[in-house]
Structure 1
């Protein structure tokens, strides 16, 4: 078992990337440019909290597939509009992109964030036909905490959440540098005050504690320069869900923040594999 100090070293990704403030500023600048060049329909609301809103980047053609990207930030920081830079490559390839927000810790629990993302996915499924999007081709993707939330969406029993939802609401998932067993975070000092996890709640929100009802394809990825624990978590979800595992895409030379950038790079295998899940070819 890792000590609290070791847990902080393994899981505190920002501390391992001294240049992270500059990376976040670059993301914001690239995201502003993306919103300027794309049609961006902002702040659709899908739930009662003001944070329960999403931005939609429509594709040019009707009946396009939809990529839903859930942002990371350790459930306690960042915003959907910090990741607009991922949308242009998909929109150019004929894919609509939705980016939801959720309430953040410490004001919100991870359980409530999961429920908010369930509401977001249900709202999208019900609404996208009116927006010219194919409700039969919805893929969820996420990075870091967003990958955890994306995995929880893959594990969801949709008809149990709402009777009008089909069991196959999702046609795929892409999980990048995620945490799928939250038990280690209970003892990580840098997160303890914000996340307020105990053993029981960590189990309830750990994707590996569930089994998806369908063999919906899952793509996993983790940076080659990420910590041993992030690489272990990436293996863990593949081992827990063999019926879903589709591909693992190595990201050599990439740290935790650089790993998500591969999703928006048209020449990268992660982007191309995601397009295939969406029923598109590069």
Structure 2
């Protein structure tokens, strides 16, 4: 069971509580990169330095940090039970979180950053990653579950697309050291794992160091050590040129490749940023009818040709939603790949 924590005075959008149960999922295959919504619940977001409330020692703790003023500009830091208990012991009597060490020190922990899918649509959020987040924290891995503004929000201030969606995930990733520092931790190896539309964003986060000065997301604070795209739309240029219909990619980018006059597709598309210089797992299920397996195989071939350490995994019998199921072969492949490359559970400081 994961416990979320609230801070008074901040009222974000309707949230969905992170719980340790499998999600019941449905899918309308209307656009590339879809996930299933979860039932609504209420919650709040906190800024770095806010302390979580006490929890039972056996529970993981979830604290939400805001990287911007809008409700979707938030991420959940989820500490496994052992680390959560150690943090509780370090809390001050005044219920104020300990300040980060002045030299940036603190216990070093590996972190898996989760980036949700949903066709970049504003009606989807990070809670589609509930089950796999719990699987990671159950095994002692720290999770940073990242949200962002999507396309089609009722309030224009909550609307994403180019460049807002990309700027959001960049800012959310760059907040990670500060969030960890607020509980006396320091990031070690950082792996970014994205599903569907989030797979695209995960690759782009790994490519930020290749962006020219002044481009959205350039000059990253955090550079991922590993990246996983699960059924991602890995080539926005090809997807944006494939049809004149205004599908999910066109909505994200503000038009097809022939309709926009600037270089946004070249700045945003992972294939256009190759080589990334980051070890990459490119995963797909051979039954995926939403983002076809050829999207993964084409990207892996292009990445390998560009000199990247890219591993292709085509999982027999799995479909588009399989990576969201911690009991699936797809998720087992991701976990194994991360473990083989050094993403390790975190032990409490002694």
Q: 1:118 to 1:157 in 2, by over 3 A?
A: same
Measure the CA separation in 2 of the matches of 1:130 and 1:228: 40
* 1:250 match: 314
TM-score (norm 1): 0.76
Compare the two structures and name the one with the higher helix fraction. Answer: 1
Matches within 5 A, 1:192-231: 194-195=251-252, 196-199=254-257, 200=260, 201-212=264-275, 215-227=277-289, 230-231=292-293
Q: Offset of 1:128 from its aligned partner?
A: 2.0
Q: Offset of 1:38 from its aligned partner?
A: 4.4
Measure the CA separation in 2 of the matches of 1:263 and 1:125: 30
* 1:86 match: 132
Moved over 6 A (4+): 263-267
Bigger Cα Rg: 2
> 1:171 and 2:235 equivalent?
no
Matches within 5 A, 1:37-186: 38-59=59-80, 60-61=82-83, 63-76=108-121, 77-106=123-152, 107-157=159-209, 165=221, 169-183=223-237, 184-185=239-240
Tell me, yes or no, if the aligned pair for 1:218 and 1:246 is still in contact at 8 Å.
Answer: yes
Q: 1:261 to 1:185 in 2, by over 3 A?
A: farther
Q: Offset of 1:147 from its aligned partner?
A: 0.2
Measure the CA separation in 1 of the matches of 2:290 and 2:179: 41
Measure the CA separation in 2 of the matches of 1:267 and 1:210: 26
Unaligned runs of 5+ in 2: 1-26, 41-55, 84-106, 153-158, 346-350
Measure the CA separation in 2 of the matches of 1:229 and 1:118: 24
Higher relative contact order (CA 8 A, sep 6+): 1
Give the aligned CA root-mean-square deviation in angstroms: 3.4
User: Could you report, residue by residue, the CA deviation over 1:90-130 in whole angstroms, capped at 9, with x for unpaired residues?
Assistant: 11222111111111103321421111111111111343244
TM-score (norm 2): 0.63
Unaligned runs of 5+ in 1: 1-12, 30-35
